[in-house]
Amino acid sequence: MDFFKWLRLLIGLAGKIDLARLLKLPDIQDSGDTQAWTACVLDAGGVLTELTPTDVDDEAVAALKAIVEDDEAWAAVFGFLQVLVTDDNIVGGEAPPLVQAAGEKLDISPLLIVTIVKAIAELIKWLRDRKADK
């Protein structure tokens, strides 16, 4: 892709993504703030999936948005996310019961939810550490 195509792409994305919100880390103690930030991350992901010819990434973002938009599912995910962000020693290959229930309710693999929540926790920790280093 040439420079001008990239530039047009970036300008187009800037109008669709709330970059300021995306770059402001959520207060991990505040469910609503973390939920809004996660929704913003997914909105950015949704914009990026529009650029690909496949439907799988669109479906993945839609499934994740379903979790964020469902209060019961979000409560389970948020509790697990808090533990992952604050406890570096967490391990295990099983979804917590509330996450299992949320997965069953939304017909999404609980282990997939665990994997995604772990990825979001790592993103938050990475951004937090980069911010602390500055």
The pLDDT tens digits for 62-100 are 888 998 999 988 998 898 888 877 765 555 556 778 788
Among 63, 133, 134, residue whose Cα is nearest residue 105? 63
Among 120, 129, 103, residue whose Cα is nearest residue 45? 120
Dihedral sign, CA of 61, 101, 79, 31? Answer: positive
pLDDT (mean) for 106-114 = 81
Among 37, 34, 32, 3, residue whose Cα is nearest residue 20? 37
Q: Is 83 left (phi over 0), alpha (psi -120 to 50) or beta?
A: alpha
The one-letter amino acid code at 25 reads L
Q: What share of the chain has pLDDT > 70, as a percent?
A: 91
pLDDT-derived band at 24, boundaries 50, 70, 90: confident
Q: Contact at 8 Å (CB) between 92 and 99?
A: no
Q: Contact at 8 Å (CB) between 22 and 39?
A: no
